[in-house]
Amino acid sequence: MKYTDLEVQTPLCCISTTSSLVNKTGSWRFATPVFIHRASPCNEQCPAGEDIAGYMYLAAQGRFEDAWRLIMKENPFPAVMGRVCYHSCETRCNRAEHDDAVSINMVESFIGDYGLAHSIEIELTRPEIDKRVAIVGAGPAGLTAAYHLRLMGYGVTVFDSNELPGGLMRYAIPPYRLPKEILDGEIGRLSNMGIDFNMEVKIGEGLAWEKINSGFNAVFVAIGAYRGELSFKVAKNKVIIEPS
């Protein structure tokens, strides 16, 4: 028997010519199926903790602003991440078992650009907290900490020795990979939330550590990928987190 190409690609299957009502499965089954809620493999692989399956679904429905807001619950830089992230999520994409992985990073980049193009802003819904937090370092870690603290209602001031905020996102990634207007747009959104930026300041030189120690309720030290060490003492009631 000679098969055509189409017949070879189509697997054989059984076809019933009678009604399925003959098999009364409900009357004799001894096990009940239970649906287990688990994170999608792509979600588990995302280092930023984004709900990838959620915003992909919203994007497929054309609900781009809702998709943007869902990403922003975890990550304040979707347009940046969509361009520079190594997208390990795609290595765990279920779609790859069928044909090829979904281009998750390109979808995230599109959603981030949509937010910038439509000037969508973050709404502060929590009441203001009468406490202030200093962020030392305006790189990805410091800016993300500032964003989430501001969402919680804290007053936030960011200090950095560079002229402009962004850290290695600005000074290490070339413009062809991450256009500066994209980075400026997403950082500008943080300013619109009420986050203060104090640039071209070095702790211990232009600004005494004692002033920060006495003027803020907590300090987040995010010196990033630059090599350095803390050369100041911390008050007992302060909290310092130094990303590794």
Distance, CA of 186 to chain centre: 13
pLDDT in tens, 73-93: 999 999 999 999 999 999 999
Where do the domains of the chain lie, and which CATH numbers do they carry? 41-117 (1.10.1060.10), 132-221 (3.50.50.60)
Report the DSSP beta bridge partners of residue 196: 157
- Which of the given ranges, 14-28, 125-139, 195-209, has the highest pLDDT on average? 125-139
pTM, full prediction: 0.78
Distance, CA of 218 to chain centre: 24
**How many CA atoms, within 13 angstroms, populate the side-chain half-sphere of residue 72?**
24
pLDDT in tens, 183-227: 999 999 999 999 999 999 988 887 888 888 888 999 999 987 666
Q: Check whether 240 has a pLDDT greater than 60.
A: no
pLDDT in tens, 151-169: 999 999 999 999 999 999 9
Residue 149, CA distances (Å) to 30, 110, 144, 194 in order: 52, 26, 9, 11
